[in-house]
């Protein structure tokens, strides 16, 4: 593939780079001082507004795994993959209404701190290590790999490692300024992401319309998609019957129909948005009204994300199957978004790459900051140097950021973790799913059941991980491929596999049973249980308006595309 960029593309991209860099530098020195204390560096000292919190959540959440991975799954499976975004909007409502009051009332600044406050230091330490490994070896690596893969393709190939290093350096530039710089530069990042992403989708739909002889009409292009790929516009996949095609089986394995809504998708979304330092950190330094408004604003923006990150994948599928997308050699789904960008006019390609870069850099920066926060506040300060002053902790945080980024580059250099195997988005969901059941069970019981004990929490975290591995790797061998708990199907490698959302659901169910059983052996009220009152969960009229709007749109989408 030749270099698809021209002078105007470079001008637009460089303008984006300069704008974000200058704005970040201005924020860094706005008050005439650098971030020299931990609350300012890690939490922006409560200075983020609701719109900055909401924008930062989206900018950090939407990255290469969505633009490349979700677009790829849109190419492969269709609109069903939008469940991650649309159900995520509902999950953000639950987090804003129920989770955030608990965190803020108890002055929780990190997720390990929650576990220490509610349970004990051992639980917090175990999860700190779990989170650091997950953030570095799954999230940072996949974001770097998928981002470099996409931009390298647009440059004509041969620049993969250079692009990877540039992305990492840009993210470091933002991250080393602290959470305030990240939060406010994310406002620009998400504006570029939304505008560039929507422009790309509009042009992609117009392209379909032109290719099918209907003129330049985006609405007509969307109608072509509905007519030419009706199988790509169903939210629920039926369970494969005997003799079903391998394609149908493969789709069901990653999105197992209505069964994934029983537990797996809820665990995935609520754990990600409610028990994840990477996301909650943006709101933990604010007061409750500001935090709630920011999270609900993020929920509103989530409704738009499939239009930006999934729909171009369906466009790529329709063009590819009709022989109109020669750029997509071999039909590899993770290259679908890059192939669509190659059709965009001069200048707009630069804007689209800027949107993609904004998503990648914002996610890298947010993830690196969370790694730094957990390591510095929950490991370094507590177990390595309890006497460290504020300045030393800030510099320790910066060194942790640098070390995490270098480690991610080393493991991504030759794709040592096999990110390209199942596709980037599936890679992230699967490996995150190994710890999600135990973590979510520990958080949800810790928040809302006063009897949950520290022993139950430790056991739950470990049991959740072991059960996830068991259901994912060994259950079929031990109990067979068809039981009353699951139906396993032969994947594209010829091996029986249980859909991972079903694995996640049963892992969570049995983990909760174990934790409840152990807690019943303890006191009726754990001395470290949180005190909750109804006033904590009271909503303002503005909150209700946004919540009802999100739920109505969510319901309408499912009625239309069920």
Question: Could you count the other beta carbons within 10 Å of the beta carbon of residue 528?
Answer: 15
Token output for 515: 């934790």
Closest CA to 349 of 66, 539, 153, 498: 153
Could you write out the DSSP letters of every residue in 378-427? IIIIIII-TT--HHHHHHHHHHHHHHHHHHHHHHHTTTTT-TTTT-HHHH
Q: Give the burial string for 341-356 (b: 16+ CB within 10 Å, else e).
A: bbbbeebbbbbbbbbb
Q: What is the DSSP string of 119-135?
A: T-HHHHHHHHHHHHHHI
198 three-state secondary structure:
helix
Contact (CB, 8 A) for 116 and 290? no
Query: How remote is the C-alpha of 231 from its chain's centroid?
Result: 26
CA distance 20 to 558: 37
Alpha carbon distance 242, 264 (integer Å):
25
Tell me the H-state helices in 95-242.
100-105, 111-118, 121-134, 141-154, 160-175, 179-211, 218-228
**Token pair 């409704």: residue:** 303
Interatomic CA distance for residues 18 and 159, integer angstroms = 22
Contacts of 28-36 with C-beta under 8 Å, sequence gap 24+, read 28/177, 28/178, 28/180, 28/181, 35/177, 35/178, 35/180, 35/394, 36/390, 36/391, 36/394
Alpha-carbon distance 440 to 278, whole Å?
A: 15
The pLDDT profile of the chain, 562 residues, written as one tens digit per residue, is 445 566 777 777 777 777 776 766 666 666 445 555 555 555 544 557 888 888 878 877 777 667 777 888 888 888 988 888 999 999 999 999 999 999 988 888 888 888 989 998 888 888 888 888 888 888 888 888 878 877 777 777 778 888 888 888 878 776 766 555 665 666 676 777 777 778 888 888 998 898 888 888 889 989 999 998 898 999 898 888 888 888 888 888 888 888 888 878 899 889 889 888 778 877 887 888 999 999 999 999 999 888 888 898 899 899 888 888 777 766 677 778 878 877 777 767 777 777 777 777 777 877 888 888 888 888 888 888 878 777 788 888 888 888 888 998 988 888 777 776 655 556 776 677 788 899 999 999 999 999 999 999 999 999 999 999 999 889 999 999 889 998 889 888 888 989 888 999 999 999 999 999 999 988 888 888 888 888 888 899 889 999 999 999 999 999 988 8
Nearest to 350 by CA among 15, 18, 24, 58: 15
CA dist 403 and 383 (Å) reads: 19
CB 45 within 8 A of CB 180: yes
Q: What are the structural domains, with CATH classification, of the chain?
A: 7-425 (1.20.1730.10), 434-531 (no CATH)
The neighbouring-strand residues paired with 496 are: 490
For 497, list phi and psi in degrees, rounded to 5: -140, 135
Burial 180-210 (b: 16+ CB within 10 A, else e): bbbbbbbbbbbebbbebbebbbebbbbbbbe
pTM above 0.95, yes or no: no
The values of phi and psi at residue 485, to 5°, are -90, -30
Q: Are 4 and 154 in contact (CB under 8 A)?
A: yes
Q: At what angle do helices 179-211 and 50-61 cross, to 10 degrees?
A: 60
Contact 468, 441 (CB under 8 A): no
CA angle 115, 118, 122 (to 5 degrees): 50
């Amino acid at each position: 593939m030749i270099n698809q960029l021209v002078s105007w593309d470079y001008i637009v991209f460089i303008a984006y780079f300069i704008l974000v860099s200058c704005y970040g530098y201005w924020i860094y020195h706005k008050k005439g001082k650098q971030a020299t204390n931990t609350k300012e560096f890690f939490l922006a000292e409560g200075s983020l507004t609701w719109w900055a919190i909401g924008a930062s959540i989206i900018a950090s959440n939407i990255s290469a795994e969505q633009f490349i991975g979700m677009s790829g799954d849109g190419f492969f499976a269709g609109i069903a993959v939008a469940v991650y975004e649309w159900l995520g909007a509902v999950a953000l409502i639950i987090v804003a209404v129920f989770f955030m009051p608990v965190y803020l009332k108890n002055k929780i600044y990190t997720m390990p701190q929650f576990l220490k406050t509610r349970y004990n230091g051992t639980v917090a330490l175990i999860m700190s290590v779990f989170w650091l490994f997950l953030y570095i070896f799954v999230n940072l690596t996949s974001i770097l790999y998928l981002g470099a893969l996409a931009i390298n393709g647009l440059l004509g190939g041969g620049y993969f490692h250079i692009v990877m290093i540039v992305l990492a350096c840009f993210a470091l530039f933002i991250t080393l300024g602290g959470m305030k710089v990240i939060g406010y530069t994310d406002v620009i990042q998400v504006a570029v992401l939304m505008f560039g992403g929507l422009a790309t989708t509009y042009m992609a739909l117009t392209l379909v319309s032109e290719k099918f002889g209907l003129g330049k009409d985006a609405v007509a292009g969307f109608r072509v998609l509905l007519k030419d790929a009706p199988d790509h516009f169903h939210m629920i996949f039926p369970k494969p019957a005997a003799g079903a095609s391998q394609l149908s089986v493969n789709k069901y394995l990653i999105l197992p129909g209505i069964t994934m809504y029983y537990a797996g998708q809820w665990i995935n979304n609520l754990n990600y948005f409610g028990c994840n330092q990477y996301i909650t950190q943006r709101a933990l330094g604010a007061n409750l009204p500001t935090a709630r408004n920011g999270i609900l604003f993020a929920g509103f923006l989530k409704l738009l994300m499939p239009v930006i990150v999934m729909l171009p994948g369906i466009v790529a599928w329709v063009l590819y199957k009709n022989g109109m997308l020669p750029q997509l050699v071999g039909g590899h789904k993770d290259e679908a978004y890059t192939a669509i960008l190659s059709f965009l006019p001069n200048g707009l390609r630069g804007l689209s790459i800027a949107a993609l870069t904004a998503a990648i850099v914002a996610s890298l920066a947010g993830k690196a900051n969370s790694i730094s926060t957990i390591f510095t506040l929950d490991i370094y300060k507590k177990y390595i140097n309890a006497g460290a002053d504020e300045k030393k902790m800030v510099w320790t945080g910066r060194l942790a950021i640098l070390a995490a980024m270098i480690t991610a580059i080393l493991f991504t250099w030759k794709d040592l973790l096999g990110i390209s195997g199942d596709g980037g988005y599936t890679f992230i969901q699967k490996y995150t799913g190994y710890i999600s059941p135990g973590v979510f069970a520990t958080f949800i019981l810790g928040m809302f059941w006063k009897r949950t004990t520290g022993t139950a929490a430790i056991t739950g975290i470990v049991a959740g991980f072991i059960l996830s591995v068991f259901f994912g790797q060994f259950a079929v061998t031990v109990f067979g491929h068809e039981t009353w708990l699951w139906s396993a199907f032969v994947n594209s490698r010829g091996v029986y596999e249980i859909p991972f959302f079903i694995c996640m659901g049963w892992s969570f169910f049995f983990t909760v049973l174990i934790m409840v059983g152990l807690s019943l052996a303890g006191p009726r009220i754990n001395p470290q249980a949180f005190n909750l009152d109804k006033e904590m969960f009271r909503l303002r009229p503005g909150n209700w308006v946004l919540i009802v709007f999100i739920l109505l749109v969510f319901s309408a989408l499912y009625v239309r595309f069920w």
